[in-house]
Structure 1
């Protein structure tokens, strides 16, 4: 039935991809990637346009997936999603929520799992949207650019490039998040030390003034 729905959506071209991308971020288990590739294969000249509308629709659907997670809770999620998806995504979130979202943009785990888990785990919605915007942009536009440049010949490249993204780009993005967090923590620590030093100086001055009095 789900495959029939996906095939049905393809018949409506860009509008079908918009709908598929939107529900892909909410609950539909078949990734919009397959519809995007199929439509780009038929009309490579529209590949970048398809990437754009699919990307925007995915981001628009993300808050709704988040809301489902807030309302339904994890117990319900295990009934409607595969347990291995939930278990893997939960472990990633427990280690680093930002990295989990970025990894989720490239791994076979459907992205909706991360949007729903973000809501359940009270991960900030603005962070979910920010990291989803980065990760999903890469996912959609890699396909769009390949078909735009190479036409139908890109069909064989997509899977290989997706593999390289999973192996190379995703870890680099995660490393970037890790380094940024360390940089922010160092700045926060230095700021705290600066405030403490200022307080120490002020206390010393106050003590000196009392002595003089």
Structure 2
């Protein structure tokens, strides 16, 4: 199925890359990564342009995935989950959404999962686009630059090792967000102690 989808978009060249990048952020189950790799293998000199097309298309598609989640997400969840759990999940996503989105942009998890969840849990659309812009830029351009500078020889690196590297980056980011949250919590506790002491 992955090969068939990649071949379909590959036949349309640059337009196929743009379309796949766009629907990848909305609902299409197969990541645009596969089309990007296929087209970059054919013409490594166009790899950066392909990365740019996929990246722009992904950002343009992000609001549509968000709107799907906003319109359909909660009604669907309410059929299977109690409202109190939806409220807790919404509150948690609002507090930790930036970590989920930024980390998700590096992982093999389909990005539309995060655009739809952001809409479902009413996360800020502008924050979603901002963090998506950072994470997806890294993922698209690492592939693009690898093929542009090393040509077809970079195929093994991209297909075999890139997921591990991105996963490592995601773990590092998760650690940074955890430390940041701990520092904020300690500061809040100290502020409350000072208020109680003054009172």
TM-score, normalisation: structure 1: 0.74
1:159 shift after superposition: 2.4
Which residue does the alignment assign to 1:99? Answer: 99
Give CA-to-partner distance per residue, 1:131-187, whole Å, 9 cap, x none. 111111111011001101110011111023323323311112233334445566677
TM-score, normalisation: structure 2: 0.78
Q: Does 1:60 align with 2:84?
A: no
Which residue does the alignment assign to 2:112? Answer: 112
Q: Label 1:123 to 1:21 Cα distance change in 2 as closer, same or farther (>3 A).
A: same
Give the match's secondary structure for 1:26: coil
Q: Label 1:159 to 1:6 Cα distance change in 2 as closer, same or farther (>3 A).
A: closer
Q: Does 1:161 align with 2:183?
A: no
Q: Does 1:132 align with 2:146?
A: no
1:43 shift after superposition: 0.4
Q: Label 1:71 to 1:159 Cα distance change in 2 as closer, same or farther (>3 A).
A: same
Q: Label 1:189 to 1:128 Cα distance change in 2 as closer, same or farther (>3 A).
A: farther
Which residue does the alignment assign to 2:80? Answer: none
C-alpha distance in 2 between matches for 1:48 and 1:163: 19
Gaps spanning 5+ residues in structure 1: where? Answer: 78-89, 201-213
Asked if the contact 1:69–1:116 (Cα under 8 Å) also holds between the matched residues in 2, the reply is yes
Q: Label 1:144 to 1:2 Cα distance change in 2 as closer, same or farther (>3 A).
A: closer
Please tell me the root mean square deviation across aligned C-alpha atoms, in Å.
3.1
